[in-house]
Structure 1
Amino acid sequence: MSSRPLNRLLILSNGHGEDLIAQRILRALQTRRPQLVIRVLPLVGLGEAFANDEAEGRLERLGPQLQLPSGGFSNQSLRGLARDLAAGLPLLSWRQMRLVRHWARQGDPVLAVGDLLPLLLAWGGGGRFGFIGTPKSDYTWASTGPAGWGPTPLADGYHRCKGSEWDPWEWAVMGSRRCRLVAVRDRLTARGLHRHGVAALAPGNPMMDGFPQTPLPAWLASQRRLILLAGSRLPEALGNARRLLGCLSLGQPPEATTVLVASGSTPSLDAWANLLGDAGFAAMAADPAAAAIGASSLWRLGRWTVLLGSHTFSRWAGWAELGLATAGTATEQLAGLGVPSLSLPGPGPQFKAGFARRQSRLLGGAVLPCHRPEELARRLQQLLHDPNTCHQLGAIGRRRMGPAGGSAQIAALVEQRLLG
């Protein structure tokens, strides 16, 4: 440990979901240490999640930055890797490593959020570092897979032999003397790393922080309520949104049903408006009640009503009975709020069949993947008429994701172990 408290911290984050997790931890950390100087290096994309904090002077984003064609999922296909390499990934990684090494040589710590890439960069910097392992959980191989999606005996056997979702080279880096903190998403995963000499902690899941307890408006309580999550990586999110909206047009619900579409920075509201129009929805006149909860526009198709809003996910998510989802982090958060989902994998690069199967296992079946739009439409009607099953799936999702409060607990550990 340093003999003096440190007052600078570099964050490495490799994806949109990781950016959001890092953001929650940093805000909790700044509550404890208001004068802390924070720099963020987004490894994938531009780190848009940090834009507001940067504008308020809470942190500074560092370069180099590059929007990779694969959206950070080059590990899921050789084609995605080839496109990223052609777009300049090797040079980007080299420049990022130089920045991390320069930071570490000044004696300041690094906090890596994500998986192998930020972990390796933090270790390669040569200084003290901490690691928040966000994507991997032993539940993805210790749980039964979704029905009708086939077994994965080779992958399951490999992880069972290791006793951990994390790989030997990853736990070797986590076990470095310079690694002062390893936090993972659940106790099962922490126990798996303990078997390999990694003192991993499971202090709580930051993904479940930041959801206000907003009362359900009375006018919405009289309707069935869905939330539609298409993801945020372009152009994949546009294709996924088109397919999910197409599922709605396959049939009319037996009663009035509102679909909440909470858009982030991408796809844009204009892009969503085009998609809704193409799917047969008609834009309606401004509705004061809808505007009061953050909806920017209202669309109808028979008994379907769509409310489109920008950056309204944290307020709207808990109002839904069911989700239609092709997202990563947002789908997990929805499950943690007790809202089960139906997913529809597509061509990727992120939300493909393997990703959907893995997500379902991670969440104990709280997300049910469907092979075709017709299957999703059928399952949707079944679940809307089966509240007991929805309640059971929602309870599983809550258990798998854990309660809120993880950001504050991790912030306390970062202050003690990296900055103390």
Structure 2
Amino acid sequence: MPGRLLVLSNGHGEDLIALRVLLALHQRCPQLELAVLPLVGEGSAFAAAEQAGVLRRIGPRRQLPSGGFSNQSLTGLLRDLAAGVVGLSWHQWRLVRRWGRHGDPVLAVGDLLPLLLAWGSGAPYGFIGTPKSDYTWRSGPGSAGVAAVYHRLKGSEWDPWEWALMGRARCRLVALRDGLTARGLQRHGVRSLAPGNPMMDGLEGVPLPAALVGHRRLVLLGGSRMPEALGNLERLLLALDAWVLQPPGEPDAARLLVLAPTGSRPSPDDWLPLLRRLGYAPAAIPDGTGAQAAWSRGPVLLLIGSGGFGRWASWGEVGLAAAGTATEQLAGLGVPCLSLPGPGPQFKVGFAQRQSRLLGGAVGVCRSASELADRLELLLREPSLRRALGRMGRRRMGRAGGSAALAELVQQRLVDAATAAG
């Protein structure tokens, strides 16, 4: 029998990681039935693979007001409760329990919620722990404050109840994002591995088109959670204005290209009110860029493209970022970033500072538009600084190839083991 696997993921970044692993697993086991239960949002990252017959999405799905970050604010929690998060979670729990009665394995991607559901299935399960890294409290820049003391006492950013679930006999695979974090859990008896980071797969890119040679190039990342993403983009574009309008010192400011790759949201139509409010006008799309829309204002040419991250990311000299996974990927490609935290619910000051520590300062946290403008001026003026920060980002994110390594482990420890037991 070909077998079945249920995958649980709890966020847009986790969906993307799960998707890469599942595509690699499908190549190894094309007859394996792959079911995906997105715990947060609609799981739009899986839509193309579902249409191609690689997998199927199951279970109830709903876009929550907090975007899955209700643990970061009381307001977000209350809004999620009003939107029916308790009923949604109950239905998801019951579905996972029904799946587990057949003994088919479960793969959890994310943090505590999918891990807890996988354990509750009663079936063999594996875990890909995506968000936590011991780099966030063992290295700078800045201090993790009280959190660092707490994690140092534990010896891991993961909590005791999480490593207890990872250490169960039914947990056949624990894969973490880096060797430092894996070693921390090994000291607590968890058989954890760090086979590679799937976040860096599929980002080969294409050569820079001739039409763009000579431009200063920025990558603009506002995140994928609406409406927060539009607020993030507005703050970053206003900060860019502060750089363009500051006293001369950057001679190439007259040829400034801003690349804004997005997922399904915000769509080009979502951008319209924001860009018109800021005074941008439609412009011609340069050849070879694959952009869906182009807008200009003064010296700035802004290109927008859904699904354009893999094509555009490596073209950037500096990233202006208020995103999670995409910012880490950009830094992993060697592109230093500057972030500008906002009111959230995701990209707040604490999140941005943690991201900066994770990446060893390859992402610099700015507290104001003027600070971002000053630091952008420095980065564009100093290629040696850009290269040094780029090397740090690559080191912290690791090389591509993690998806294939994880797919092999999932096949061996979950799929093949379940088939043999059956």
SS in structure 1 of the partner of residue 292 of structure 2: strand
SS in structure 2 of the partner of residue 260 of structure 1: strand
Distance 1:219 1:390 in 2: 23
Residue 139 (structure 1) aligns with? 135
CA contact (8 A) 2:260 2:303 kept: yes
CA contact (8 A) 2:201 2:401 kept: yes
Residue 81 (structure 1) aligns with? 77
Residue 174 (structure 2) aligns with? 182
Query: Would you say 1:268 and 2:260 are equivalent positions?
Result: no
Query: Would you say 1:92 and 2:84 are equivalent positions?
Result: no
Displacement of 1:6 in angstroms is 5.8
Displacement of 1:302 in angstroms is 2.0
CA contact (8 A) 1:129 1:418 kept: yes
Deviations 1:259-316 (A, max 9, x none): 00112211110122332222222212x3451xx3211222222221111222111100
Deviations 1:151-187 (A, max 9, x none): 4331100000000010000000000000000000000
Q: Give TM-score scaled by structure 1 length.
A: 0.95
SS in structure 2 of the partner of residue 250 of structure 1: helix
CA contact (8 A) 1:208 1:403 kept: yes
Residue 218 (structure 1) aligns with? 210
Residue 185 (structure 2) aligns with? 193
Query: Would you say 1:409 and 2:405 are equivalent positions?
Result: yes
Query: Would you say 1:303 and 2:299 are equivalent positions?
Result: yes
Q: Give TM-score scaled by structure 2 length.
A: 0.95
Distance 1:341 1:274 in 2: 26
Range with bigger deviation, 184-193 or 59-68? 59-68
Displacement of 1:94 in angstroms is 1.3
Query: Would you say 1:121 and 2:120 are equivalent positions?
Result: no
Range with bigger deviation, 249-258 or 137-146? 249-258
CA contact (8 A) 2:243 2:377 kept: no
Q: 1:205 aligns with which of 192, 197, 210?
A: 197
Count of paired positions: 409
Distance 2:390 2:63 in 1: 35
Residue 281 (structure 1) aligns with? 280
Which amino acid is the alignment partner of residue 267 of structure 2?
A: S
Distance 2:338 2:205 in 1: 24
SS in structure 2 of the partner of residue 295 of structure 1: coil
Range with bigger deviation, 43-52 or 71-80? 71-80
SS in structure 2 of the partner of residue 99 of structure 1: helix
Distance 1:411 1:69 in 2: 33
Displacement of 1:121 in angstroms is 0.2
Distance 1:212 1:68 in 2: 33
Which amino acid is the alignment partner of residue 358 of structure 1?
A: R
Give structure 2 stretches of 5+ with no counterpart. Answer: 245-249, 417-422
Distance 1:310 1:141 in 2: 35
Query: Would you say 1:391 and 2:387 are equivalent positions?
Result: yes
Which amino acid is the alignment partner of residue 347 of structure 2?
A: F
Question: What stretches of structure 1 move > 4 A for 4+ residues in a row?
Answer: none
For residues 221 and 288 of structure 1, do their structure 2 counterparts lie closer, same or farther at Cα, with a shift above 3 Å needed? closer
Which amino acid is the alignment partner of residue 368 of structure 1?
A: G
Distance 2:54 2:141 in 1: 42
CA contact (8 A) 1:137 1:189 kept: yes
Distance 1:197 1:187 in 2: 15
Q: Alpha carbon RMSD of aligned pairs, Å?
A: 1.2
Distance 1:176 1:192 in 2: 17
Q: 1:237 aligns with which of 226, 229, 249?
A: 229
Distance 2:243 2:94 in 1: 55
Give structure 1 stretches of 5+ with no counterpart. Answer: none
CA contact (8 A) 2:285 2:303 kept: no
Q: 1:322 aligns with which of 318, 321, 329?
A: 318
CA contact (8 A) 2:128 2:176 kept: yes
Range with bigger deviation, 344-353 or 296-305? 296-305
CA contact (8 A) 1:294 1:310 kept: no
Range with bigger deviation, 308-317 or 167-176? 308-317
Query: Would you say 1:254 and 2:246 are equivalent positions?
Result: no
SS in structure 2 of the partner of residue 389 of structure 1: helix
Displacement of 1:138 in angstroms is 0.2
Residue 62 (structure 2) aligns with? 66
